[in-house]
Amino acid sequence: MAVGVAAAYGFIFYASALQDDPSSIFPLDNMAFDLAERTRADTLVDVAKAVATAGALPFVLTVVVIGSIGLIVKRRPLELFALAGGFGLVVLAVHVAKAAIDRPRPTSQLVETVGSSFPSGHAAYATAYVVIAVIATRVLAGFASRTVIVLAGIIVAAAIGGTRVYLRAHYLSDVIGGYGLGLGIFAGCAAIALVVAFIRENHRAATEPPSV
């Protein structure tokens, strides 16, 4: 719940500010673009484009479907709800938010883009990698370090968001808003799954005959 509240605040903060003036540019947006401009190189642009592909909806959807199939095989319905159900809500929320706010894209983009700028769909969808990493540490045994797996998911998500700023496809505030939206929804679904699991365990304990 703490993750959900903090993430949702990041999204709501920028969404509220942009609702009144969708063309607003925040100080951090300019700072991020200045940093990207100083480090611009053809090779890095090519690398950024390749990394950004991992945050595109078709790519992430494929990963989520594969993960969902694995959870079905493992018979983990609550984790399946958190991943597949959460991702479906993220996709829906991204499209609704884009249409509602309709923020113009940055100028001088280095990639082709469609639709409004806020929130970043790539950033929102990339939060699925963090969720998959967390679920993997719960469902699969034999990992040497759970921290390493979760950290890898965070790094992938952060790299995807960073490429969107580097390629001038989004403002930094778009990316932060996308992260907030994605993590907020996934955290909410995870909280629901935990509550259901708690209720199920209590019901099972209440119905089992006492041990002799």
Q: What pLDDT was estimated at residue 148?
A: 85
pTM passes above 0.85: yes
Whether 82 is covered by a domain: the verdict is yes
Whether 210 is covered by a domain: the verdict is no
User: Average pLDDT, stretch 16-35?
Assistant: 92
Q: What pLDDT was estimated at residue 172?
A: 95
Question: Which domain does 192 fall in, by range?
Answer: 2-18+27-203
Given a cut of 80, whether residue 1 has pLDDT beyond it is no
Whether 209 is covered by a domain: the verdict is no
Whether 42 is covered by a domain: the verdict is yes
* CATH number of residue 81's parent domain: 1.20.144
Whether 90 is covered by a domain: the verdict is yes
pLDDT higher at 208 or 106: 106
Q: What pLDDT was estimated at residue 31?
A: 94
Query: Which residues, 6+ apart, have CB-to-CB distance to 4 below 8 Å?
Result: 183, 184, 187, 188, 191
Whether 211 is covered by a domain: the verdict is no
Tell me the pLDDT band of 43, cut-offs 50, 70 and 90.
Answer: very high
User: What SS3 class is residue 142?
Assistant: coil
Given a cut of 90, whether residue 177 has pLDDT beyond it is yes
Whether 212 is covered by a domain: the verdict is no
User: Average pLDDT, stretch 108-114?
Assistant: 87
**Count of structural domains within the chain:** 1
Residue 41, Ramachandran bin (φ over 0: left; ψ between -120 and 50: alpha; else beta):
beta
